[in-house]
């Protein structure tokens, strides 16, 4: 023991090697355990985060989740049903990844079995290492071939706004016209030169929800900024304003929420009900409603007027 300490003092550079050795041993130990693919249901308030995808040097949803995975020793990486932008929130985001299991032969189907109730409490373990505005609501057994992104057949978003100054009939007419579009080149951010702009919207309509409206939009896949640009156009129509299809603006991200993902087979989640109800209420009614307050709308109106003046 003393010789090891002396060796470290004489060769401080070896500490990095020792740390790497421990990490390698830890990884080998994890490989000896049973592993399985699981789906996680995640909710988060996206304000203050640079989107869901992990990015070096930036605070992201995915970065926090991967940190929690590694800190618990459960796994390393996740794949997400939707790649939400900076400021966008989620109520029922689905992620998938390979994690360790305490069951010798883990369930690899979509149906919950008795052994699944003996499994690690994945949601509770991860939440212990996550900030309060990111919560794992539950987990579901899935086959090893399941991929939260590529297995998904439909994604749903909602964009919330107050009724004042908006004509819901005009908005729904605009939403209906947009739903019939096949090429969404002008409704996307051209961040990928190889992108294909053909998309089909399954649903695009305005819902009257008491004191607010929201745009309910569903599709198999969306382009970068596609939903926020659709919202911008629909909101323009609701105000009785015309716009140039080749100059579509982008709405603010904060009232936009990823609401769910649909898969060929229904996912059976083992839910943390208390966490789910508390976060859902807080996000849907308090935080989101606050983000679309009068001051927020006035700010947005000023930004839109600046864009109109610059176009002229």
- The per-residue pLDDT for range 183-195, each reduced to its tens digit, is 999 999 887 777 8
Residue 274 has pLDDT above 80, yes or no: no
- Of the chain, the percentage scoring pLDDT greater than 90 comes to 56
> Which residues make beta-bridge pairs with 138?
41, 271
In this prediction, residues 47-69 reach a mean pLDDT of 93
Residue 26 lies in a domain: no
What pLDDT is recorded for position 15? 57
Say if residue 166 is in the same domain as residue 118: no
| pLDDT-based confidence at residue 11 (cuts at 50, 70, 90) | low
Owning domain of residue 47:
31-150+264-273
What pLDDT is recorded for position 283? 52
- Of the chain, the percentage scoring pLDDT greater than 70 comes to 76
| pLDDT-based confidence at residue 57 (cuts at 50, 70, 90) | confident
Say if residue 133 is in the same domain as residue 37: yes
What pLDDT is recorded for position 209? 82
Q: How many domains does the chain have?
A: 2
Say if residue 86 is in the same domain as residue 113: yes
Q: What is the CATH number of the domain that holds 159?
A: 3.30.70.660
Residue 286 lies in a domain: no
In this prediction, residues 129-146 reach a mean pLDDT of 93
Residue 241 lies in a domain: yes
Say if residue 178 is in the same domain as residue 115: no
pLDDT tens for residues 180-235?
999 999 999 887 777 899 999 999 999 998 778 899 999 999 999 999 999 999 99
Say if residue 112 is in the same domain as residue 171: no
What pLDDT is recorded for position 92? 85
What pLDDT is recorded for position 210? 79
What pLDDT is recorded for position 308? 44
Residue 75 has pLDDT above 50, yes or no: yes
Say if residue 218 is in the same domain as residue 142: no
Higher pLDDT, 278 or 264: 264
Residue 110 lies in a domain: yes
Whether the CB-CB separation of 151 and 264 falls below 8 Å is answered with: yes
Say if residue 193 is in the same domain as residue 64: no
Say if residue 158 is in the same domain as residue 216: yes
Residue 17 lies in a domain: no
Say if residue 88 is in the same domain as residue 195: no
What pLDDT is recorded for position 278? 52
Say if residue 172 is in the same domain as residue 61: no
In this prediction, residues 101-108 reach a mean pLDDT of 92
Residue 279 has pLDDT above 80, yes or no: no
Q: What is the CATH number of the domain that holds 56?
A: 3.30.70.580
pTM score, whole prediction: 0.78
Residue 81 has pLDDT above 90, yes or no: yes
Residue 70 has pLDDT above 80, yes or no: yes
Average pLDDT for the chain: 83
What pLDDT is recorded for position 8? 47
Instruction: Kindly state the tokens that stand for 285.
Output: 């009614």
Residue 24 lies in a domain: no
Residue 48 lies in a domain: yes
Instruction: Kindly state the tokens that stand for 231.
Output: 């919202």
Residue 5 has pLDDT above 50, yes or no: no
Say if residue 176 is in the same domain as residue 143: no
> Among 109-113, 126-130, 271-275, which is the least confidently predicted range?
271-275
Residue 291 lies in a domain: no
What pLDDT is recorded for position 157? 94
Distance CA 215, CA 205 (A): 6
Say if residue 107 is in the same domain as residue 189: no
Whether the CB-CB separation of 173 and 237 falls below 8 Å is answered with: yes
């Amino acid at each position: 023991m003393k010789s090891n300490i002396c060796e470290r003092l004489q060769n401080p550079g070896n500490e990095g090697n020792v740390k790497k050795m421990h990490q390698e041993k830890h990884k080998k130990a994890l490989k000896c355990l049973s592993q399985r693919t699981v789906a996680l249901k995640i909710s988060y308030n996206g304000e203050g985060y640079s989107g869901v995808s992990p990015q070096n040097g930036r605070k992201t949803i995915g970065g926090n989740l991967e940190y929690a995975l590694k800190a618990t020793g459960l796994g390393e990486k996740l794949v997400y049903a939707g790649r939400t932008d900076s400021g966008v929130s989620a109520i029922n985001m689905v992620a998938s990844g390979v994690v360790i299991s305490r069951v010798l032969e883990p369930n690899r189907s979509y149906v919950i079995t008795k052994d699944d109730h003996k499994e690690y409490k994945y949601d509770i373990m991860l939440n212990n290492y996550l900030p309060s505005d990111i919560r794992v609501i539950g987990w579901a057994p899935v086959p090893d071939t399941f991929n939260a992104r590529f297995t998904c057949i439909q994604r749903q978003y909602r964009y919330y706004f107050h009724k004042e100054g908006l004509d819901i009939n005009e908005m729904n007419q605009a939403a209906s016209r947009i739903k019939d579009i096949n090429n969404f080149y002008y409704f996307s951010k051209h961040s990928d030169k190889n992108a294909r702009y053909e998309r089909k919207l399954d649903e695009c309509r305005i819902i009257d929800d008491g004191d607010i409206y929201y745009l309910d939009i569903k599709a198999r896949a969306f382009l970068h900024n596609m939903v926020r640009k659709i919202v911008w156009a629909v909101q323009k129509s609701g105000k009785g304003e015309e716009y140039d299809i080749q100059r579509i603006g982008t709405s603010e991200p904060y009232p936009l929420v990823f609401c769910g993902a649909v898969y060929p087979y229904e996912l059976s989640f083992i839910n943390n009900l208390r966490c789910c109800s508390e976060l859902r209420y807080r996000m849907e009614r308090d935080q989101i409603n606050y983000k679309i307050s009068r001051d927020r709308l006035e700010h947005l109106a000023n930004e839109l007027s600046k864009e109109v003046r610059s176009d002229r």
